[in-house]
């Protein structure tokens, strides 16, 4: 914007009046809307461009506190990923701010690297990576993308209910920070009554913007007391347990997926005894007779066979084997102790806490009313911006025509 004196000098009252006449003549239906933006258009068209210079030393000195803050994400990634600086073999710079020489020097000093890689387009790398990450979730790609994301926050689970004391034993870490996304996990508790489950951020000092309380979701798990009563008359071989299954989505959102009651009982059941098979195998002895070749030859001579050859030996082997079929004996039944496991689904009722909690009908109606007002203001703002652009285009076109004349 320009000062009043400069505005009067560059666009006096007569000029504004003539401009308003021209606008009204060319845009007769938009006079009221454009009346309030003539000053803005004149300021754009007639004001001087403000330029200033600053030395690099002064710039780096003014941003001294920002250099240290810029290293915080790098330190946290190393801390929660379990990596050391020596485990990093390359550092790729992405983001327009990485072009600042001072920031590059700070990164080199912090990571002990003589060279920082700049193979990717600093401005497009993040957008391209986000697009590929989203595509890999729902589109079958020809090649597998080696991208691993970690949870930005740690999450804890806390139990509350009858016979559950308020101590640290009922509060445990569920998801450590930088845990791989997506993930599934479960926790087992020994309890026979309905109870509540709360999900909260691990640290109160590290909360998303706008949150004042670390607790963000609460659930009521019911049906456990009923299942305990139903199976109490059975011979329980172990205390009744509850398995809580949690899911951590690709977006880093955690929620209670399902809950089951695990009931183990021991019962005596009748089973068939193992059958005994009796096999009787009788094998007849083998008769092996050997006759001297001379006797064999004499028999052949009796049959009218004249032979001068000498037969050394002849063997005749006859083997008779008899095998009886197996005999099966039914020995009846017997009682054995067997364990059975029953998994009973439990009912879950979510009670979201904090800013994400469900709105009442009155609050929802009020919120919708506010959104409608904002939508009308946005529509008016867009219309005003469009009229300003049209007016600016008309002014430049008029100026060109005046110069030509």
Label residue 280 by pLDDT band (50, 70, 90). very low
Higher-confidence residue: 4 or 176? 176
Tokens, residue 404: 């030509």
pLDDT at residue 337 is higher than 90: no
339 — phi, psi (to 5°)? -100, 135
| pTM to 2 decimal places | 0.55
Label residue 304 by pLDDT band (50, 70, 90). very low
Q: Mean pLDDT throughout 14-26? A: 56
7 — phi, psi (to 5°)? -65, -45
Q: Mean pLDDT throughout 299-327? A: 44
Give the pLDDT of residue 370. 92
- What's the Rg (C-alpha) of the chain? 45
Q: Could you please report the per-residue DSSP string of 303-324?
A: TT----PPP-EEEEEE--EEEP
Tokens, residue 170: 């009922």
User: Domain ranges in the chain?
Assistant: 4-52+365-404, 56-138, 154-267+344-358, 281-323
SS3 at position 259: strand
Label residue 318 by pLDDT band (50, 70, 90). very low
pLDDT at residue 8 is higher than 70: no
**Residue that is written with structure tokens 């997926």 in the block:** 257
Superfamily, domain 154-267+344-358: Substrate Binding Domain Of DNAk; Chain A, domain 1 (2.60.34.10)
What is residue 96's DSSP assignment?
A: G
CB count within 10 Å of CB 130 equals: 10
Question: Mean of the per-residue pLDDT values for the chain?
Answer: 75
Higher-confidence residue: 59 or 48? 59
Label residue 257 by pLDDT band (50, 70, 90). very high
Label residue 206 by pLDDT band (50, 70, 90). confident
Q: What is the pLDDT of residues 122-178, one digit of tens each?
A: 888 888 888 877 776 666 667 666 677 889 899 999 998 887 766 656 789 999 988
pLDDT at residue 297 is higher than 50: no
User: Nearest 5°: CA angle at 180, between 156 and 124?
Assistant: 120
pLDDT at residue 244 is higher than 90: yes
Cα within 13 Å of Cα(344), Cβ side: 22
Q: Which of 113-122, 256-265, 322-331, 353-362 has the lowest mean pLDDT?
A: 322-331
CB count within 10 Å of CB 175 equals: 21
Higher-confidence residue: 144 or 297? 144
Q: What is the pLDDT of residues 343-369, one digit of tens each?
A: 999 999 887 766 666 667 888 889 899
What class does CATH assign to 56-138? alpha beta
pLDDT at residue 315 is higher than 90: no
Residues across the chain: 405
Give the pLDDT of residue 248. 94
Q: Cα dihedral sign for 109, 110, 114, 116?
A: negative
Q: Mean pLDDT throughout 275-281? A: 48
Label residue 267 by pLDDT band (50, 70, 90). confident
């Amino acid at each position: 914007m320009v000062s009043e004196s400069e505005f009067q000098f560059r666009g006096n009252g007569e000029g504004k009046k003539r401009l308003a006449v021209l606008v009204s003549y060319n845009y007769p239906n938009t006079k009221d809307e454009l009346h309030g933006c003539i000053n803005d258009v004149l300021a754009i068209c007639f004001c001087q461009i403000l330029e200033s210079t600053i030395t690099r030393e002064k710039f780096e000195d003014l941003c001294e506190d920002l250099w240290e803050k810029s290293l915080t994400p790098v330190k946290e990634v190393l801390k929660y990923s379990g990596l050391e600086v020596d485990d990093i073999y390359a550092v790729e710079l992405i983001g327009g701010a990485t072009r600042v020489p001072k920031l590059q020097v700070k990164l080199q000093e912090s990571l002990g690297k003589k060279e920082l890689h700049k193979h990717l387009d600093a401005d497009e790398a993040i957008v391209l990576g986000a697009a590929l990450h989203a595509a890999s979730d729902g589109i079958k790609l020809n090649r597998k993308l080696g991208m691993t994301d970690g949870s930005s926050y740690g999450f804890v689970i806390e139990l509350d209910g009858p016979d559950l004391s308020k101590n640290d034993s009922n509060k445990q870490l569920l998801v450590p920070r930088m845990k791989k996304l997506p993930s599934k996990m479960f926790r087992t508790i020994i309890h026979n009554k309905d109870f509540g489950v709360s999900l909260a951020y691990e640290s109160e000092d590290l909360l998303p913007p706008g949150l004042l309380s670390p607790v963000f979701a609460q659930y009521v798990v019911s049906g456990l007391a009923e299942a305990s009563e139903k199976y109490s008359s059975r011979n329980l071989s172990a205390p009744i347990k509850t398995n809580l299954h949690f899911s951590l989505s690709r977006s880093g959102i955690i929620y209670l997926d399902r809950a089951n009651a695990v009931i183990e009982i021991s019962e005596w059941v009748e089973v068939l005894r193992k059958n005994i098979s009796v096999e009787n195998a009788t094998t007849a002895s083998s008769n092996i007779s050997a006759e001297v070749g001379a006797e064999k030859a004499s028999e052949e001579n009796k049959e009218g066979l004249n032979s001068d050859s000498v037969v050394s030996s002849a063997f005749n082997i006859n083997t008779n084997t008899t095998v009886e079929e197996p005999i099966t004996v039914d020995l009846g039944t017997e009682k054995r102790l067997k364990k059975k496991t029953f998994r009973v689904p439990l009912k879950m009722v979510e009670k979201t806490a904090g800013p994400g909690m469900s709105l009442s009908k009155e609050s929802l109606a009020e919120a919708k009313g506010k959104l409608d007002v904002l939508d009308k203001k946005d529509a008016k703002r867009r219309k005003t911006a469009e009229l300003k652009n049209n007016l600016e285009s008309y002014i430049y076109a008029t100026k060109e025509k005046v110069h030509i004349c």
